[in-house]
Amino acid sequence: MHAAVKNDPLIQKSTTPVRYYKKKEEIAKRKADVQTIGDSIKGLLKAYRLQGKLNEVDLVQRWEEIMGKPIALKTKELYFRDQKLFVRLTSAPLKHELNMSKSKVVELLNRTMGEEVVKEVVFL
């Protein structure tokens, strides 16, 4: 080394070694804060109160799977308003039959979804 470089305090090597790894305590602390992506998404949906709407959309998409193909073929329209499911049907006899068993339909829908998504069903 040149004499000028030897005496320059900025260029001289430091006596403390530089660490390129984290301490075990820091790693353990970070692991305690770690969440799975699924848990993070569930927390986000809960915070923004979107889970209910997501369940409603999922139920509408799974209508044929839940109720069966014959009922799905005679279903013209499905929509939600205030946890009430409105179902527009093309068959009057089917409408009458489903009106007679509303409570069973509500129970079937909620059981399939795993939580209370529908409080009432209105057949139109």
3-16 average pLDDT score: 58
Rounded distance between C-alpha atoms, residue 116 and residue 124, angstroms: 22
Question: In Å, what is the CA distance from 7 to each residue of 13, 15, 16, 51, 93?
Answer: 11, 15, 19, 67, 100
Average of pLDDT values for 94-103?
92
Q: Per residue in 46-60, pLDDT tens? A: 888 888 888 889 999
Q: Rounded distance, CA 67 to CA 12, Å?
A: 78
User: Is 3's pLDDT higher than 70?
Assistant: no
Residues 66-79, mean pLDDT to the nearest whole number: 91
Class of domain 37-123: alpha beta
Predicted structure pTM score? 0.64
Q: How far is CA 65 from CA 71, 72, 80, 121, in A?
A: 10, 9, 18, 17
| Positive or negative: CA dihedral 64, 66, 58, 88 | positive
Lay out the sheet containing 84-89: strands in order across.
75-81, 84-89, 120-123
pLDDT band at 20 (very low <50, low <70, confident <90, very high): low
Neighbours of 27 (CB within 10 A): 11
pLDDT-derived band at 31 (thresholds 50, 70, 90) equals low
What confidence category does residue 40 fall into, taking pLDDT thresholds of 50, 70 and 90?
confident
Burial 82-98 (b: 16+ CB within 10 A, else e): eeebebebeeeebbeeb
